[in-house]
Chains A and B, each alone.
Chain A
């Protein structure tokens, strides 16, 4: 694979700050003792504070539900900012974090979801490091159950039984233990087997991979592996080789890149490079100025950061949205599609949200719907294998990316991808999807996004579409759900039948079409009129006066095309 497309970035740029990137930027500056270099830290604080929900938790983006990941990133980044620039403290988040705790001792990303080690790590760090609280004692039993047969640690106790170990899972688990005990409590794993497994991930070149069998060393894996070893009081087999490999990721006069051959210095490479050298006790003084200058160049107009210079920071969802809406002329569409196809991590055959980030199920569906790999059967086959061979969870469902607990958005997206990628869809993968969907049924024909969640229209429609792909679903249930959430004046509401929104209405029409159910064109048309904006875009709800951005514009445009005499079919998109 070549990365020319990434170098000149012919995807579409949203220009918006990203929470992941903002956390990585602030943390990198804090590690270098350089947050004082931020020209306007109060604007960073305002961006982070805008992610807080009334329940006390923080969300990935405005309007989304709180999750443990976003809550840790926001609270930690706010704490890293210079005193006096953090703004007034709003509601503390620790009660919300505790609401994600499971009786099994682990934590979930959102209340009701299954525990996983990503969420557990974020929850423990937030509780202990931000709020000075103690996690429940049950945590240590849950962590102990993460050790797999090969000695490494897995995403969850259920993953450990299947033997899936990963350097990230090791880091998250070891850090959760270290944070909760100050590194002094009894180690809940066999130290020698764990240390050996981690050390075995280092290749002859000095870098690390995430898992046994991976072919390309990467800085993310290297950072996580050396950090886990450091918290265990251990070191890589070849620390000097590791330092040399990390430093070989530096661009001339600038910051880090993620893996050999990848040409772009980005914010998470800076975060991983500085973090790994710091864990190894290596000098940072000679590179600090260049790293700081590079990271500061990633600031956006919203006050936060994106992953590279904003004018080149394309992302897959925005690019796919433009393609699906037909907003690009042919030549630009061709370039944008090729760029999207290049957004894959080594060793992970799905498509990322942003280059260098882990492959995500939802983004992969958007990219495929936009036409990615349309004429590349082997690539589609690799994507199907990635889904069923690497990231399907033991409960049969799918999370956003590898190791994240299952949710309905991702599971429905995976079912649609498996249908689209064709080939031999393993029967047990489809059976697993049906089994996961069943765990989210709260009453006959009503489904939540996660087991233990509240039922909503979108989760119900996603469940029924996933079941249809997995072998069969009852169209009468779709009819009932649509009737329950049909807003009298136009459109469909995710909860009750009062406030319609664009995404629920899109999924309502999409699902009705999939099941051959008639719907009222006038009812849809009235709704579209209520969300059409003065700038020729579409708002997410009739409450908002301005466009919801490229994704909302894309969904609105596709609904218009569905209403046209040609009745263009809706792509099977899911978002939240």
Chain B
């Protein structure tokens, strides 16, 4: 992962959601709350989502310090979180 381009990051995060939630994720607005927009997005699904994002971008999330319930609540916020992580790592 080299890029910090938000559009590309968003596309890759969306692909992760599509893999897990199929059609429901395909039409997902970038600012939609995942817990209400995706049927079955419970705590287990949220954990799988965070783990998938970690694996995709080679980052490690701090589950307490990073306020995961904010950053992983929408596609937009997740992409922004990933972008900052990648930039921090590159700095």
Taking the complex as formed, is B4 at the interface, i.e. its CB lies under 8 A from any CB of chain A? Answer: no
CB distance from A322 to the nearest CB of B (A): 23
| Closest A residue to B35 using CB positions | A545
With contact pairs A62-B42, A545-B69 given, residues A499 and B35 touching in the complex (Cβ less than 8 Å): no
Contact of B64 among A50, A62, A527, A539 (CB under 8 A): A527
When the two chains form their complex, are residues B64 and A543 in contact, meaning their CB atoms are under 8 A apart? no
| Closest B residue to A526 using CB positions | B64
24 contacts between A and B (CB under 8 A): A50-B40, A54-B44, A63-B42, A63-B43, A487-B63, A487-B64, A489-B62, A489-B63, A489-B64, A489-B65, A489-B66, A499-B63, A500-B64, A526-B65, A530-B64, A540-B43, A541-B43, A542-B63, A542-B68, A543-B43, A543-B46, A543-B50, A544-B69, A545-B73
What 1/0 flags go to B67-91 for Cβ under 8 Å of A?
1110011000000000000000000
CA distance A62 to B43 in the complex (A): 9
When the two chains form their complex, are residues B67 and A530 in contact, meaning their CB atoms are under 8 A apart? yes
CA distance A542 to B44 in the complex (A): 12
Taking the complex as formed, is B24 at the interface, i.e. its CB lies under 8 A from any CB of chain A? Answer: no
Taking the complex as formed, is B47 at the interface, i.e. its CB lies under 8 A from any CB of chain A? Answer: yes
Closest 6 pairs (CB-CB, A-B): A489-B64, A490-B64, A489-B65, A543-B46, A530-B64, A545-B69
Within 8 A of B (CB), among A517-576: 526-527, 530, 539-545
| Closest B residue to A54 using CB positions | B44
The CB with the most chain A CB atoms within 10 A, among B35, B47, B63, is that of: B63
With contact pairs A63-B42, A543-B69 given, residues A491 and B47 touching in the complex (Cβ less than 8 Å): no
Q: Which residues of A contact B46 (CB under 8 A)?
A: 543-544
**Chain B interface residues toward A at CB < 8 A:** 35, 40, 42-44, 46-47, 50, 62-69, 72-73
CB distance from A521 to the nearest CB of B (A): 15
Additional A-B contact list (4), CB under 8 Å, known A54-B44, A542-B68? A62-B42, A530-B67, A542-B67, A543-B43
Q: Secondary structure at chain A's binding surface: helix, strand, loop or mixed?
A: loop
Q: Which residues of A contact B69 (CB under 8 A)?
A: 539, 542-545
- Count of chain A residues with Cβ under 8 Å from any Cβ of B? 22
When the two chains form their complex, are residues A63 and B44 in contact, meaning their CB atoms are under 8 A apart? yes
CB distance from B23 to the nearest CB of A (A): 12
CA distance A526 to B65 in the complex (A): 8
CA distance A307 to B35 in the complex (A): 29
When the two chains form their complex, are residues A491 and B64 in contact, meaning their CB atoms are under 8 A apart? yes
When the two chains form their complex, are residues A544 and B64 in contact, meaning their CB atoms are under 8 A apart? no
When the two chains form their complex, are residues B47 and A499 in contact, meaning their CB atoms are under 8 A apart? yes
| Closest B residue to A50 using CB positions | B40
Taking the complex as formed, is A161 at the interface, i.e. its CB lies under 8 A from any CB of chain B? Answer: no
CB distance from A549 to the nearest CB of B (A): 13
Q: Which residues of A contact B64 (CB under 8 A)?
A: 487-491, 500, 526-527, 530, 542
Q: Which residues of A contact B50 (CB under 8 A)?
A: 543
CA distance A541 to B67 in the complex (A): 11
Taking the complex as formed, is A498 at the interface, i.e. its CB lies under 8 A from any CB of chain B? Answer: yes
When the two chains form their complex, are residues A544 and B43 in contact, meaning their CB atoms are under 8 A apart? yes
CA distance A554 to B67 in the complex (A): 22
What 1/0 flags go to A54-97 for Cβ under 8 Å of B?
10000000110000000000000000000000000000000000
Q: Which residues of B contact A544 (CB under 8 A)?
A: 43, 46, 69
CB distance from A52 to the nearest CB of B (A): 10
| Closest B residue to A546 using CB positions | B35
CA distance A142 to B72 in the complex (A): 50
Q: Which residues of B contact A488 (CB under 8 A)?
A: 62, 64
CA distance A526 to B62 in the complex (A): 12
| Closest B residue to A548 using CB positions | B43
CA distance A544 to B34 in the complex (A): 11
Q: Which residues of A contact B73 (CB under 8 A)?
A: 545
